[in-house]
Amino acid sequence: MRTSAFIALIVCVAIGCTTPAASPGPSITGSPYPSPPMAASSSSAPISAVPSTPTPSTPLSPNPTTASAPPDLARVAVKERDDIRVVVELQRNPLPAGEPSWVKVRVTNKGRTNVTWFHGGCGDPVWVRGASGVAWSMGEEHQTQAARWMFKTYALGGHIAAAPDPHGALSFVEKERLHTGPSGCADVGITETIEPGETVRSTRWWAGYTDLNRALPPAGPARIRGLAAYYWRGKEPADITEQAIKLDIDAWIISDAAAARLSPAQAVDAALSDPDFAAYVETQEIATGREAIAWYDAERDVWEIGVMPWYETEPPRIHGVLVDAVTGAIVGPLDRPWDRDVDPFP
C-alpha cells in the first residue's frame, strides 16, 4: 500500500492534545470539596463523609427487563459498491454487557484499477459504532434548579442546547484503550491507495460498557453501524461525502446485572439528593473549565459522581460522592486525581 498525507487542518482531538494545560494549584486537604471559585457563592453547607441514603422525589428503580435474544442473529454484514467490498464481522451476537468483544472489518479492492481511500487521523477502514435500542430511565427533572439541571445534563452527555440521549452509545476502539474508551484523532486529511486485489483490515474492541458513563447497557436490541469512508475509484468526486459505504447489523445485548442497577441518570439523581453534594454543585460553573463526572466503576459496583476542575491542580482532581450502583445510597466521598491512563477523557 502506498501512503501519502496532507494536512488540511490540524486540530488535536486525541487525549494529550485536547487535555487543557492545568496550572498548579493549592493542595486539597480535609473535605473532598475544594473552596468554590471566586465568582461562586460561599454559603455551601458543611461537609459530612458519613454515608447517607438518598431521598429523591421519585423512587429509584432498576432498568426494565427485556425479552430474550432472538435466534440466528447475524454476525457479519457485507456490502459491495464500485467493486469495493466491505465486510463487518462481530465476534458474537448477542453481545454480553461487561465483557470485551471484537469487531473485524475488511475493505477489498475487487476491481482492476486503484481505489483511493481518504480518511482522518484514526485510519479506521470502517468506522464502527453502536447504540442500545432500550432507553434508560432519565430520572428526575431539575429544570427549576439551574445548577443541578446543568450538572445532570452535562454529566449525561447533553449540553445547554440539547438534552442527553437516553440510549447508551457503544464504541469499538483499539484494544489498549478498552479501559478508557474513545480518544479522538487529529483532524488531518490522509489519502491512501488500495491496489487491485488488496485488502485493508482492522480489529477494534467494545469494552462491554457505554461510552460516556462506562455504564452497563440494558439488555435488549441494539444497532451496530459501519461506515466505510471515503472510497472512490478514478477521479476525485466533487463531493467525497457521497463516497461512503454503510452497513448495519441488528444486534442484541444480554445483561443480567444491568436490570438490577441504576441508570446513569438515576445515579446522578441519587448523588444530588445528598444535601452536601448538592450544595457543592451550586458553587460550580459547569462547562466553564469544570467537568461533570458520572462514571460507573464495575470493580467496586459504585458510581463516581463529581466535578473535575481542569485548572486548579496538576493533575486535575475529581470531587464528589460515591453512589451504590444498586441501592443509590451515598457510600463515601470522592476525592482523587484524574488518571489519563485509566479514566475516560471527560
Please report the pLDDT score of residue 202 as a whole number: 97
Average pLDDT over residues 220-227: 97
> Which residues, at least 6 apart from 346, have a Cβ–Cβ distance to it below 8 Å?
291, 292, 293, 308, 338
Average pLDDT over residues 236-253: 96
Tell me if 303 sits within 8 A of 297, measured CB to CB: yes
Give the confidence band of 25 by pLDDT, cuts at 50, 70, 90.
Answer: very low
Give the confidence band of 182 by pLDDT, cuts at 50, 70, 90.
Answer: confident
Please report the pLDDT score of residue 335 as a whole number: 97
Average pLDDT over residues 29-33: 44
| DSSP string for residues in 123-185 | --SSEEEEEESSPPP-----TTSHHHHHHHHHHTT-BTTBPPPSS-EEE-B-GGGTTT-----
Tell me if 267 sits within 8 A of 261, measured CB to CB: no
Distance CA(112)–CA(284), nearest Å, equals 61
pTM here is 0.81
* Radius of gyration, alpha carbons of the chain: 23
> Which residues, at least 6 apart from 133, have a Cβ–Cβ distance to it below 8 Å?
167, 220, 221, 222, 223
Please report the pLDDT score of residue 180 as a whole number: 86
Tell me the domains of the chain and their CATH numbers: 2-63+151-162+261-337 (no CATH), 76-137+167-259 (2.60.40.3880)
Please report the pLDDT score of residue 153 as a whole number: 97
What distances in angstroms separate CA 214 from CA 51, 97, 100, 149, 263, one per listed residue? 24, 11, 13, 21, 11
Adjacency order of strands within the sheet including 84-90: 76-81, 84-90, 101-109, 199-206
**43 has pLDDT over 60:** no
Average pLDDT over residues 305-331: 97
